[in-house]
């Protein structure tokens, strides 16, 4: 059980004050800053964070640290400030605002780095006996409070960093499956699969830093979900360490042996157990890609076009439609803005072998060519593909100059898309304008289904004096509006603590009681991510 010879803990993957790595953090262009000053009154000079805050003294006793070290090795228990700060909360805008202003109250008391399923089980047993809360930690990319439990009743909190469990365990090229540890990051997994001529095809905004265990725990949905499917559709088998033992679900391509218990784990956000191994469906790596752009007259026309493609089973691998506001802001460079004559941008991407890409793109083109008032936009598809992971860096650059930007995502049926779209925009504008920070609200569709689609909003405004309270009020009113308009409280960001107050509105009081019963069975002392997904003590 003890392993003092364990390799060193992996270094922090992202900046403590922002997204990703320092070398990719760039200031906004002068044209973009001028646009923000004119539209939102954001005119502060850039101010970058300098020194990380100091976390509170660890509450772990020497005895508790010794017991944890007996499970994983002394080198695998970190109580130094840098490690704790690197695991403090996630990467939502309010998370970053708080830590940039010196608030590190949610830093874990220690970071523990197991390297096996057995070590995870042992750590959980120690934490049960020591009354320590456990936060499973993958890539640290949560934007819904999934890494900031409400653990006031516990002696301490540890972050259980699964970064060492990053192996590609097996590839079955006949069955087209791959088995891996939960800590492997998206790029590394794709790199290893590429050696077998395979791909997973899961590319969310967080792809560069998030882990596969995190994808599963949050029911992630990648930008190519229209073609490859959501992550929960890719998971074939899962192994979980819980305080009461090992749980495994999924042993064949399909089964009628009662409800599919994999779905209980997918989306459970570490509240029911710690995912220690995954088996996922993979496919042949695409030999060809074609990304193209179109300009449609307006958002309503674009929505109808996507609905038509979905109904005709003619959807591409990637489909992304920006509304008028997002289209305009995406063209903040003055030379490009001068070419924009209104309308909305539609991005379509095709992946597969050469015949598949050619056949699918020609099918879509035939449908689009018969529609009036749409035109091709040269370079749009290729440009998006080259910069698709850059948005969080833009968010951080906006924070540097006193701007505020946060996202809201939801989903609904096709018939309800216009109602939901209007409701979210109205709620955001009314609430933030009442606080003297009128916003710019952008939206796009990036996940399309036969029966409906997601709506992904970006809200930009000037920071109020207390920007955390500013957004908490706006988020409350926006989510109330989503529920009233019949949308989902989240499409792919998960519940965390942010969406928890509205969970019963989504799944019903009885549904919450069912989840609570599962929680009590698997985690009777409530050590796992307390307050995330379910009420503390739930």
pLDDT digits (tens, 9 = 90+) for 90-134: 999 999 999 999 999 999 999 999 999 999 999 999 999 999 999
Degrees, nearest 5: CA angle 39-43-47 = 135
List the one residue out of 216, 177, 222 whose CA is nearest residue 196.
177
According to DSSP, the β-strands at 110-112 and 156-161 are parallel
The per-residue pLDDT for 3 is 38
Residues 103 and 235 in one domain: no
55 to 98, 103, 134: CA distances (angstroms):
13, 8, 18
CATH number at residue 358: 3.30.70.3450
Contact between 6 and 73 (Cβ < 8 Å): yes
3-state secondary structure (DSSP) of residue 72: helix
pLDDT at 336: 33
Positions in the chain whose pLDDT score sits under 70: 1-12, 331-341, 538
* In contact, 75 and 6? CB cutoff 8 Å: yes
CB 137 within 8 A of CB 160: yes
CATH code of the domain covering residue 223: 3.30.465.10
What's the angle, vertex CA 37, arms to CA 35 and CA 42, rounded to 5?
130
Whether 160 and 172 share a structural domain: no
Residue 35 pLDDT? 84
Residue 94 sits in the same domain as residue 150:
yes
Tokens standing for 428? Answer: 């955001």
Query: 3-state SS of 447-494?
Result: CECCCEEEEEEEEEEECCCCHHHHHHHHHHHHHHHHHHCCCCCCCCCC
Task: Quote the tokens at residue 137.
Answer: 């930690």
> Would 535 be classed as within a structural domain?
no
* CA–CA dist 140, 217 (Å, integer): 12
Residue 366 and residue 402 in one domain = no
> According to the model, what pLDDT value does residue 32 have?
84
Q: For residue 54, give the H/E element and its range.
A: none
- The strand order across the sheet containing 77-78 reads 77-78, 110-112, 156-161, 132-137
Question: How do strand 283-284 and strand 288-296 relate by DSSP bridges?
Answer: unpaired
Quote the tokens at residue 429: 């504008």
Q: Is 194 helix (H, G, I), strand (E, B) or coil?
A: helix
Last residue of a domain, one of 365, 387, 409: 387
Q: Is 14 helix (H, G, I), strand (E, B) or coil?
A: coil
Whether residue 253 is found in the same domain as residue 181:
yes
Residue ending a domain, among 255, 284, 313, is: 284
Tell me the β-bridge partners of 103: none
Burial of 1 per CB tally in 10 Å (0-12, 13-18, 19+) = exposed
Judge if 148 and 219 occupy the same domain.
no
Note the pLDDT tens digit of each residue in 309-319. Answer: 999 999 999 99
Same domain, 379 and 398: no
- pTM (two decimals): 0.94
Residue 269, phi-psi category: left (phi > 0), alpha (psi -120 to 50), beta (remainder): left
Could you identify the residue written with the tokens 């009154």? Answer: 41
Domain that holds residue 380: 288-387
pLDDT score recorded for residue 10: 62
- Tell me how far apart the alpha carbons of residues 113 and 136 are, in angstroms, rounded to a whole number: 10
In whole angstroms, give the CA distance from residue 92 to residue 468: 11
Tens digits of residue pLDDT in 354-374: 999 999 999 998 888 878 889
Residue 240 — φ and ψ, nearest 5°?
A: -130, 135
Instruction: Please tell me whether residues 27 and 153 are part of one structural domain.
Output: yes
CATH number for the domain harbouring residue 459: 3.30.300.330
In a domain, 511, yes or no: no
Q: Tell me: do 79 and 144 sit in the same domain.
A: yes
255 burial class (0-12, 13-18, 19+ CB within 10 angstroms)? Answer: exposed
DSSP notation for 225-265? HHHH--HHHHEEEEEEEETTEEEEE--SS---SSS-THHHH
Are residues 182 and 275 in contact, defined by beta-carbon separation less than 8 angstroms?
Answer: yes
DSSP assignment of 85-130 equals HHTSS-SSHHHHHHHHTT--TT--SEEE---SHHHHHHHHHHHHHH
pLDDT score, position 306:
97
- Please check whether residue 518 lies inside any domain of the structure: no
Query: Are residues 26 and 159 both part of a single domain?
Result: yes
How many distinct helices (H) and strands (E) make up the chain? 19, 18
Is the residue at 39 inside a domain? no
Residue 275 Cα distances to 20, 120, 266, 328, angstroms: 24, 10, 9, 42
C-alpha to C-alpha distance for 348 and 334, rounded to whole angstroms? 25
Burial of 357 (0-12, 13-18, 19+ CB in 10 A): buried
pLDDT 10s digits, 301-310: 999 999 999 9
For 27-81, how does the pLDDT look when each residue is reduced to its tens digit (9 = 90+)?
Answer: 998 888 888 899 899 988 888 888 999 999 999 999 999 999 999 999 999 999 9
User: What values do phi and psi take at 133, rounded to 5?
Assistant: -80, 145
Query: What is the phi/psi pair of residue 142, to 5°?
Result: -55, 140
Q: Domain count of the chain? A: 4
What's the DSSP call for residue 185? B
Domain boundary among 358, 387, 416: 387
Rounded to an integer, what distance in angstroms lies between the CA atom of residue 510 and that of residue 385? Answer: 43
What CATH number has the domain bearing residue 59?
3.30.43.10
The strands making up 440-445's β-sheet, listed across from edge to edge, are 375-376, 288-296, 344-352, 318-322, 440-445, 452-462, 403-413
| CA 107 – CA 493 distance, rounded (Å) | 22
């Amino acid at each position: 059980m003890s392993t003092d010879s364990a390799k060193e803990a992996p270094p922090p993957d992202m900046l403590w004050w922002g997204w990703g790595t320092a070398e990719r953090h760039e200031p906004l262009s002068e044209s973009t800053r001028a646009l923000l000053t004119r539209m939102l009154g954001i005119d502060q000079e850039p101010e970058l964070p300098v020194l990380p805050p100091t976390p509170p003294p660890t509450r772990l006793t020497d005895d508790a640290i010794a017991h944890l070290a007996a499970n994983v090795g002394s080198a695998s228990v970190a109580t130094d400030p840098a490690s704790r700060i690197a695991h403090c909360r996630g990467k939502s805008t309010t998370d970053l605002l708080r830590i940039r202003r010196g608030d590190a109250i949610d830093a874990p008391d220690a970071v523990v780095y197991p390297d096996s399923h057995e070590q995870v089980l042992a750590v959980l047993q120690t934490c049960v006996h020591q009354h320590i809360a456990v936060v499973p930690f993958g890539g640290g990319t949560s934007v819904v409070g999934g890494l900031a439990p409400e653990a006031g009743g516990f002696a301490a909190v540890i972050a259980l960093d699964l970064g060492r469990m990053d192996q590609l365990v097996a590839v079955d090229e006949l069955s087209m499956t791959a088995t891996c540890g939960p800590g492997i990051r998206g790029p590394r997994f794709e790199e290893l699969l590429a050696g077998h001529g395979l791909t997973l095809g899961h590319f969310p905004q967080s792809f560069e830093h998030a882990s596969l265990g995190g994808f599963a725990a949050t029911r992630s949905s990648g930008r190519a979900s229209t073609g490859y499917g959501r992550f929960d559709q890719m998971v074939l088998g899962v192994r979980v360490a819980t305080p009461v033992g090992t749980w495994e679900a999924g042993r064949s391509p399909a089964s009628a042996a009662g409800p599919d218990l994999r779905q209980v784990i997918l989306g459970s956000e570490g509240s029911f157990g710690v995912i220690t191994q995954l088996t996922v469906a993979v496919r042949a790596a695409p030999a060809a890609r074609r990304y193209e752009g179109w300009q449609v007259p307006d958002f309503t026309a674009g929505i109808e076009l996507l609905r038509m493609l979905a109904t005709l089973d003619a959807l591409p691998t990637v489909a992304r439609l920006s509304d008028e506001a997002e289209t305009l802001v995406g063209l903040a460079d003055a030379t490009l803005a001068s070419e924009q004559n209104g309308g909305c941008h539609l991005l379509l991407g095709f992946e597969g072998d050469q015949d598949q890409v050619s056949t699918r793109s020609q099918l879509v083109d035939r449908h689009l060519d018969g529609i009036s008032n749409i035109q091709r936009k040269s370079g749009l598809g290729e440009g998006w593909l080259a910069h698709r992971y850059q948005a969080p860096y833009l968010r951080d650059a906006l924070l540097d100059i006193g701007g505020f930007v946060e996202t809201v995502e939801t989903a609904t049926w096709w018939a309800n898309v216009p109602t939901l779209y209007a409701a979210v925009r109205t709620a955001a504008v009314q609430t933030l304008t009442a606080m003297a920070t009128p916003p710019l609200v952008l939206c796009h569709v990036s996940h399309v289904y036969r029966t409906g689609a997601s709506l992904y909003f970006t809200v930009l405004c000037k920071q109020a004096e207390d920007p955390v309270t500013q957004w908490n009020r706006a988020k409350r009113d926006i989510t109330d509006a989503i529920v009233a308009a019949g949308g989902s409280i989240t499409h792919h960001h998960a519940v965390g603590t942010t969406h928890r107050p509205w969970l019963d509105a989504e799944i019903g009081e009885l549904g919450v009681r069912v989840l609570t019963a599962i929680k009590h069975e698997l985690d009777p002392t409530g050590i796992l991510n307390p307050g995330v997904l379910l009420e503390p003590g739930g």
